[in-house]
Amino acid sequence: MGVELEVPLDDEEIDGFAVVESISIMYLAAEALLRLYFAHVEPEPCPPLKLSSLTSFAKFKQMAGDLLTSPPRNELLREVFRGRLDAPAEVSAEAWTEDADVLRFLLTRAAALLAREANVYNSTKHGLAVQPRKSGLRLGSEEDPNGVIIDHHGPSIRFLSKGPSAEEGVQQWRETIQFAFPSINLAVASAFADEIDAIHAVAKARLTGEQGSVTIRQRALIDHLRAVPFASNYTGLLSLGMHRDFGVRIGR
């Protein structure tokens, strides 16, 4: 015997769910893109085996960090995502260069998410570890409207992250509140997904010998994905986070 319960959701709950899911989807797409890139960037007789061998997240995170210090060359990007080094006949040299710039931007953006902002990912993967909310931040003069540096109110997330402990028996934690921009998060995730499809198309063409097709990117996409207000890190999260550090004594 089953029981069905109808629990109406209000707009605030739906908005909060959308905020958290937009972040989670963006990170999942970033991880998938990076893992596929690492599996195909070096000549491998069977890329899926290379993909399945990346089981250590610490090693994966280090590889993502290496992409930030040594961004991939155009030749590597074109080989993996476009399946060719030379531009198609209908694509100009300028457009071919723009395409490589966009690919590098997307790949390094994905790497930055996993290498530098993994705490947000860890929290959103575990539903009870992150809380959506509405927050406001204002910096500047109350009397002089022209003296306001930042004035923003909107969706944000609150999450905890574990830090190093200097005192034995005390675990340090950090509570962080960061603004979120769901529309930008989903736009970034969509761009990642398109390039995941491109890797699949190139791999299929190489395996079967059939002709495939990929989309050439324009630099305007970078400007669109950077359209986040004031001093953001262009990932959909405000880099100016609000933090509170505290310790919890463990045991007696």
pLDDT higher than 60, residue 236? no
> Rounded to an integer, what is the distance from CA 238 to the centroid of its chain?
13
pLDDT at res. 10? 74
The residue written with tokens 């207000």 in the block is 229
pLDDT at res. 243? 63
Angstrom distance (rounded) from CA 128 to CA 137: 25
Mean residue pLDDT across the chain:
81
Structure tokens at 98: 């723009």
Full-model pTM = 0.81
Residue 154 has φ and ψ, to the nearest 5°, of 175, -170
Give the pLDDT confidence of 47-105 residue by residue, as tens digits: 878 878 878 888 999 999 999 999 999 999 999 999 999 998 899 999 999 999 999 99
Structure tokens at 19: 């905020």
Q: Which residues contact 234 (CB under 8 A, 6 or more apart)?
A: 109, 225, 226, 228
Q: Which residues contact 14 (CB under 8 A, 6 or more apart)?
A: none
pLDDT at res. 127? 61
Position with higher pLDDT, 122 vs 7: 122
pLDDT higher than 60, residue 185? yes
